[in-house]
Structures are given as structure tokens and as C-alpha cells.
A and B are shown apart, each in its own frame.
Chain A
Amino acid sequence: MTPALLELDEVSLSRGGRVVLDRVTLRVQAGQVTAIVGPSGAGKSSLLRCAVGLDRLDAGRVRVDGHDALELDPRVLRRRVALVAQHPVMLPGTVADNLAYALPAGAVDGEAARRSLERAGLDVSFASRVAGELSGGERARVAVARALTRDPVALLLDEPTAALDPARAAGVEALMRELAGLGLAVLVASHDVAIVRRSADAAVLLEAGRVTASGTAADVLDAWAGRPA
């Protein structure tokens, strides 16, 4: 097995005195779509936040390309491993401002913006729209485009299809496959069993902060379906 691009090793996290993640181990391979499934509150979003150093781990280790994440500049880490949050927030200004935020001046030219927007399923005309006025589904896609302008090696998507109609959701599904095909590591937390079954190569089942099953998407989803509710 090739070394994983993104690796969580025995990661534990507590928030507000409660254990949210309990010794979670997870490997995400480049060129694959890996899914995190599990009931609401299981810790899926928390796990993604830990992967980009937004929360301080109680224990465990995150590795990117074999390097301990703590030894990387967090700003560089968060561009290489880009997280699209469950409820993406638009920054003040236009969509173009959002795409270019915190990048060196000129890093996102018109061509780069067009490519990211189109990959995320948006017309290039969105670049000049005021970001705060977009619909929920449009925001979700701008957030994906915003992550892509950072040229990440891994893309972490938290419920990327929750705000989308079926056609747009299918677009995100196709995008995940396309990016994996380009060699990115894609990690997606999703409730959408059908999408996970179709698009994920591997999956883990997270329940109450613990990994309770891992393997192929089909096996993990079957294991989850077999649980008493």
C-alpha cells in the first residue's frame, strides 16, 4: 500500500469537557475518495477540523505526506489540505474577493477563477457577484471553488451536498471523482448513503467519536445499515 497522503493516528479530542473523538485512526490515499459516515453528532466535522489544526488535539498525530502536521506552517497546511466547512461562510466582498482571499496578489487571475468556478459547477459570471447575497447552494459551490483556488493536494468536504438539489449534488459527486482522478486525496463527510456508495473508494464509520468500521464504501455502509437504530 502506498503511504497515505493524509493520516490521522490515534487522534483524541474533547470539547467542553466531553470526549468528541476517541483514538481515531484514518488514512486517506491520494487519488481516492474516502468517506466518513455516521450518525449526527458522531464527530465527523470535528475529525475534519482536527485534520487542519483548527482544534488542539488531546492526543494523537496528524501527518501530511509523511510529515507531522505540527511541524508544518499551519497556513501552508491549510492551503495544501483545504477544508470546506459544513456551513460555509462567505467573506465580505465579491466571489472573486473570496476566491483570492489570503493568497498572494495576482495568484488568482481571471483564468484561475474561471477554472475553479466551473469545476464547482458555477458560471464564470459569478465572480463579480456579492458573496453575501448568494443562495445556500450557490455558497456551497463557491466554498468549493474557493478551496480549489488554493491548489490543494487534499480536499476535505463536510456535507458538500446537503444544500444542493439532486442535479447539483450529482455535479459535486462528479467533481470528487474528477479530483481524485487528478491525484488529489478527497475526504468527504456525508449523510448521503447513495452518493457515498457510488463515489467513495473507501469509508470509515464513526459512532460516538470512535471508528467502528472501515473498509470499502459498500462494506462500511452495509455495516452501518445493519446497526440497530
Chain B
Amino acid sequence: MSQAAVGQVVVSVALVLAAIALSWRARIGLERELAVVSIRAIVQLTAVGAVVTLVFQHVGLAAAFVLVMLGVAAWTSGRRIRAIPHGPLLAGAAIGLPALLALGLLLAAQAFPATPRGIVPVAGILIGGAMAAASLTGRRLLEELHDRLDEIETRLLLGASAREALATPLRRAVTTALVPALDQTRIVGLVTLPGTFVGLVLGGASPATAARIQLTVLLSLLFVELTASLLLAHLVSRVVIVAGERIEVPQAQARYGA
């Protein structure tokens, strides 16, 4: 093992043990949980490390890996809109279309090499961003539909179409969902050095190259997240708008997931 590897293992394990000791001393009761999540993290990352090594060797496996990422993202985001029938499918469409479109454009422009090493990390970032936007949009939109149904019905009563009546809740949901993407782009380099940049610099790229790639990803994410948010909002409103310019929110209970 290299000197760095020894240092990593020794310091991180020592810090976890210190945390467990501290929890015990202060009678917080988190000893067991600290130990469990640490071991889980080791197992998960080791497993993913092995899979990623394989995935990086075959384009077909890389494509399958991207689909798995998309599936996990769709499932996770779909849980946020459990009240809506086929939530994961709608979320999958809202996440997958813009993320894969942006990925395709970047690859076509040869912004990244069309190899597993190029595709998997970029796809991960784009899908992850789209998922965050879709989840926030779905959650906020269902809150609006539930908590402000009387405002929506007031608009209907005044002669608005169901689409018009939903315009304000929809806009609120999309603007809320875009806050993290906007803020992340606003403060880039000033407060945080985002993952791509750090990874590339640690991997030996020049800071200028790393900054260019990070910028490409960040700016692409603005498009991907806005589109994912709008798509999800649109798909959900298609479900809740029913004949006769009415809004029907499926089953009031189990409205928005934890």
C-alpha cells in the first residue's frame, strides 16, 4: 500500500472510532448506527468500485449502468409523487429526456470522449441534477395542489381554464425546484469547488482544463434541470386536470412522500 492509502485508512478509521467513543461518552446512543453506516459505506463503495472497473471496460455495460442510474433516479423521484398514478414512469420521462438529450449533444460535440470513462460520470451528474429538480418540483406541486386547492378552485370559479388555474402553482413549483441549480452556479468557485473540478484536478488535469469541463457540466445542468422540472410539472398537471375544466387530486392521503 502506498503511503497515502495507509494514511487514508488509518485517519478515517481512527476518526470513526473517535466518533463512536464520543457518542458513548456523551451518552448520545449513536454508537451502533455510526458503526453500521461506516461498514455499509465501505461495502457499497467497494462493490461499486469493482463494478465501475468492469463498466469502464465495456461500452455495453456502461450503457446498462446509465440505464440503472436512470431507473434508480426515476424510482426515487417517483416516490415523491406517490399520489400520482405511474409516478416513477412520469419521473423517468422527465429526468431521462433532458439528461440523455444533453448527454447526446455533449458527446456529438466531442466535449467528452465517447468512452465509458467519459459517459458514466457525466451521465451521473446530469441524471442526478434532473432527479433533484424533478423531486423538488413534484413535491412542491403536490403541496400546492393540496394546501392551496381553494385558491385553484377560486380561479376555476372565476372562469379560468384548468390550465390557467394551475399556472401559478406550476410556476411556484418550478422556481422552487431551480433554486439549488441557480445557487450552485452562482457561487461556483467562491464557496465550493464542485466535484467534477476537484476530481479532475486530483486526477492530474490542469486547473484550466478542469474549470472548462466543470463549466460545461454546470451550464448544461441549468438546461437539464429546468427542462426536467417543466416536464414533470406538465406531466403531473395532465394527470390532475380532468374533463369539464376540473382538477382532481388523487387520494388526499399519502399525498407527498417523506
Chain A residues with CB under 8 Å of chain B are 16, 52-56, 70, 74-76, 78-79, 82-83, 85, 87-89, 91-92, 101-103, 146, 150
Contacts and interface: CB of A to CB of B under 8 A. Distances in A.
Contact of B150 (A52, A83, A87): A87
Contact of B151 (A75, A78, A91): A91
B157 A56 contact: no
A77 B158 CA distance: 10
A56 B246 contact: yes
B246 A53 contact: yes
Contacts of B242: 56
A88 B164 contact: no
A103 B150 CA distance: 20
Dominant SS at the A interface? loop
Given A53-B245, A54-B246, A102 B154 contact: no
B154 A88 contact: yes
A150 B151 contact: no
Contacts of A53: 244-246
Given A53-B244, A53-B245, A56-B244, A75 B161 contact: yes
A78 B157 contact: yes
B153 interface: yes
Contacts of B245: 53, 74-75
B159 to A, nearest CB: 4
A97 to B, nearest CB: 11
A75 B158 CA distance: 8
28 contacts: A16-B252, A53-B244, A55-B246, A56-B248, A70-B244, A74-B156, A74-B244, A74-B246, A75-B161, A75-B245, A78-B158, A83-B157, A85-B150, A85-B154, A85-B157, A88-B154, A89-B153, A89-B154, A91-B151, A91-B158, A101-B155, A101-B160, A102-B155, A102-B158, A102-B159, A102-B160, A146-B158, A150-B158
Contacts, number: 59
Looking at chain B, what size class is its interface with the partner chain? 10 to 19
B159 A79 contact: yes
Nearest to A146: B158
B254 to A, nearest CB: 14
What 3 A-B pairs are tightest by C-beta distance, nearest first? A74-B245, A102-B160, A89-B154
B154 A78 contact: no
A104 to B, nearest CB: 10
A78 B150 contact: no
B153 A54 contact: yes
A52 B252 CA distance: 22
A102 B244 contact: no
Interface in B229-253: 242, 244-246, 248, 252
A101 B158 contact: yes
